[in-house]
Amino acid sequence: MKNDHPKINYGKTGVLLINLGTPDSTSWWDIRKYLKEFLSDRRVIEVNPVIWQVILNLFILTFRPSKTAHAYKKIWRKDTNESPLLYFTRSQAEKLNSKIGNDNIIVDFAMRYGNPSIKSKLYVLKSLGCENIIILPLYPQYAAATTATVCDEVYRSLMGMRWQPSLQVIPHYESEPFYINALTKSIEEKIASIDWKPDLIISSYHGIPKKYFDKGDPYHCYCHKTTRLMKEKYKSINIETTFQSRFGPQEWLTPYTDKTLENLPKKGIKKVLVICPGFASDCVETLEEINIQGRESFLSQGGENFDLIPCLNDNLDHIELFKKLVTKYI
């Protein structure tokens, strides 16, 4: 009897690391394309979509790409011609794959905005025979504007599949001991590498509008929980929580990182380290906003010493954390 059944790949598990995203280049048009996708997400901007699209297309996407491109050019990796976030996210996936990957487990990465897209990588994993896919959004502290919108895009992508894989989403890991240990170890390593003692460590997280918190978003609480756990483990220097990257005129979570850095020297705090626990990879928000703008602001107001603790990026502790998070579902 002739067997004309098409060949089907099946029986494998895929692990998909998902970060925020990045423009393809520092060109005005690539930056504009990226910002349009990002700022059109209704999880990110919760205002009337008709009014917002007019504001976005007539004003923001006319003027903001130049400013954003200027920031990206300062931190763009010239050796690989890509953003640090793309470089480190790819490296994270490759290193995790070297730890857990085999004939039946495939690790890959995607971006919520920009390339490689979530949809394209889900279809790749499915074509390779992944009946089960584990989604790891690279946001330790859950927020609707980050983790939830990743899930939205994953579910939208699956709507086009006739044979959908099973899914497991890891929603947050703000208090995972491996994560806290990796953060405090990064603090210790940075302090051992400098010749001055910090007066204070600022734990800076990406902000969200206060009204999102008022509507029930748990992000604020998760950020403070991470800081509290770091303080319990590392007691030599005080650690304070702040929030960065606010956008627009409305009130965001406070205290603001930029205002805090401006005011600290006036209070006699002139030696500061900054750590950004909410960012899985160094990116424009850490390397440009904090390490360039924040540094200049702090020093110009009378600060004496400033340094940024690198994100966990692709270091071994971070990869071991990812391994622990995903292997329980394999």
- Read off the pLDDT of residues 196-217 as tens digits, 9 standing for 90 and up: 999 999 999 999 999 999 999 9
Mean local confidence (pLDDT), 70-89: 98
Q: Do the domains 177-308 and 12-173+317-327 match in fold?
A: yes
Q: What is the per-residue pLDDT across 260-285, written as a single tens digit (0 to 9) for each?
A: 999 999 999 999 999 999 999 999 99
Q: What is the per-residue pLDDT across 210-237, written as a single tens digit (0 to 9) for each?
A: 999 999 999 999 999 999 999 999 999 9
User: Residue 157: CB partners within 8 Å, gap ≥ 6?
Assistant: 118, 119, 122, 123
| Position 157 pLDDT exceeds 90 | yes
- To the nearest 10°, report the CA torsion of 93, 99, 104, 106: 0
Residue 253, classed as helix, strand or coil, is: coil
pLDDT band at 1 (very low <50, low <70, confident <90, very high): low
Mean local confidence (pLDDT), 20-32: 98
Question: Is the omega angle on the peptide bond into residue 6 within 30 degrees of 0, that is, cis?
Answer: no
- For residues 123 and 188, what is the distance between their CA atoms, to the nearest angstrom? 42
| Position 2 pLDDT exceeds 70 | no
Mean local confidence (pLDDT), 42-51: 96
* Percentage of the chain modeled with pLDDT above 70: 99
Give me the phi and psi of 115, to 5 degrees please: -120, 150
Q: Give the pLDDT confidence score for residue 5 in this predicted structure.
A: 74
- For residues 298 and 262, what is the distance between their CA atoms, to the nearest angstrom? 5
Give me the phi and psi of 109, to 5 degrees please: -140, 160
- To the nearest 10°, report the CA torsion of 189, 298, 244, 263: 120
- To the nearest 10°, report the CA torsion of 306, 261, 280, 72: -90
Give the H/E segment covering residue 308. strand 305-308
43 touches 36 (CB < 8 A): no
Domain ranges within the chain, ordered by starting residue: 12-173+317-327, 177-308
Q: Whole-model pTM? A: 0.96
Q: In 3D, which of 156, 209, 155 has the Cα closest to residue 47?
A: 209
* Tokens at 88, concatenated: 């480190």
95 touches 88 (CB < 8 A): no
User: Residue 188: CB partners within 8 Å, gap ≥ 6?
Assistant: 234
Q: Give the pLDDT confidence score for residue 6 in this predicted structure.
A: 75
How many C-beta atoms lie closer than 10 Å to residue 1's C-beta?
Answer: 3
Q: Give the pLDDT confidence score for residue 233 in this predicted structure.
A: 97
Burial of residue 173 (number of CB atoms within 10 Å: 0-12, 13-18, 19+): buried
Strand 166-169, strand 200-206: pairing: unpaired
Q: In 3D, which of 236, 248, 244 has the Cα closest to residue 261?
A: 244
To the question of domain 177-308 being in CATH 3.30.2130.10, the answer is: no
Q: CATH fold of 12-173+317-327, please?
A: Rossmann fold (3.40.50)
| Position 146 pLDDT exceeds 80 | yes
pLDDT band at 179 (very low <50, low <70, confident <90, very high): very high
Per the prediction, the chain carries an average pLDDT of 97
